[in-house]
Amino acid sequence: MILFGKTFIAFWSEIVIAIFQFRFFSVEPHVTKIPISYLVCMIVLVNRYLFRRRFVGLAFWPFVFVGNPMLKRDLVFLNHERIHLRQQLELLIVFFYVWYGIEFLCRWISIGNWYKAYRNISFEREAYRNEKDLRYCKKRSFWAFLAFC
């Protein structure tokens, strides 16, 4: 068990280090080339134990968990997760996950393909469609994901 076994210290020490790395990352304008405030409410945590297979990251406001440290500098990936953080806030976080789970199940049953069902969830449609637009969250309207249902 990761949380209670021999790797306990390594597991949590990596998270603490990641928090400090994020601070350095967010104050390097030549790296980000976008306003510091853009990433300020997003805390990126790296833990290679959490993601080994299909997923590369998970947004859970105000955190973004990633398995690969390189993703901390991937602005398109960060923008994708930031869109999810906005969606979560707008649905008080818990309703985001309820909606996400129900919509995933409905689409999985109708499409019959796990990955296609995931990509067609309205939250993911909005995020994938706009992840390359780094200013999207600035101009995004409230509950914009409804346009992708």
**Given the rule CB under 5 A, which residues bind Zn ion?**
124, 127
Could you tell me the smallest distance in angstroms from the CB atom of residue 15 to Zn ion? 21
Question: Do residues 49 and 11 touch, judged by C-beta distance below 8 A?
Answer: yes
Cα separation, 57 vs 133, in Å, equals 19
Question: Do residues 145 and 87 touch, judged by C-beta distance below 8 A?
Answer: yes
Q: Which is nearer to Zn ion, 26 or 87 (CB)?
A: 87
Could you tell me the smallest distance in angstroms from the CB atom of residue 24 to Zn ion? 26
Shortest-Cβ-distance residue relative to Zn ion: 127
Q: Which is nearer to Zn ion, 11 or 104 (CB)?
A: 104
Q: Which is nearer to Zn ion, 66 or 127 (CB)?
A: 127
